[in-house]
Amino acid sequence: MKYRVRMDLCFADEADARALLDQASGLATKAASLNEGGEREEISFAELELCRHEEGLPCSRLGRFEVRKEAA
């Protein structure tokens, strides 16, 4: 059994968003991905996006990290 956290938080200040991403990446060493490499793979990740939906434009990814086992 695992405990999953899902969040989608918008910040007005990029520094606040990056601070949360940095906090998550620090805890990522304790996280796990499920069925990695298998048919039902679920990779743990965190992303930072620039959201422009209020302007009628799409989001663009500024950063992402994934939790994967190191290649053997």
* pLDDT 10s digits, 2-36: 899 999 999 999 999 999 999 999 998 899 999 99
Positions of E strands within 1-72: 44-50, 60-67
CA distance 69 to 64: 16
**Hey, is 72 helix, strand or coil?**
coil
State yes or no: pLDDT of 70 exceeds 70: no
Q: Which residues pair with 67 in a beta bridge?
A: 44
Q: Are 35 and 42 in contact (CB under 8 A)?
A: yes
Q: Which helix (H) or strand (E) holds 44?
A: strand 44-50
Rounded mean pLDDT of 46-56?
A: 95
DSSP 21: H
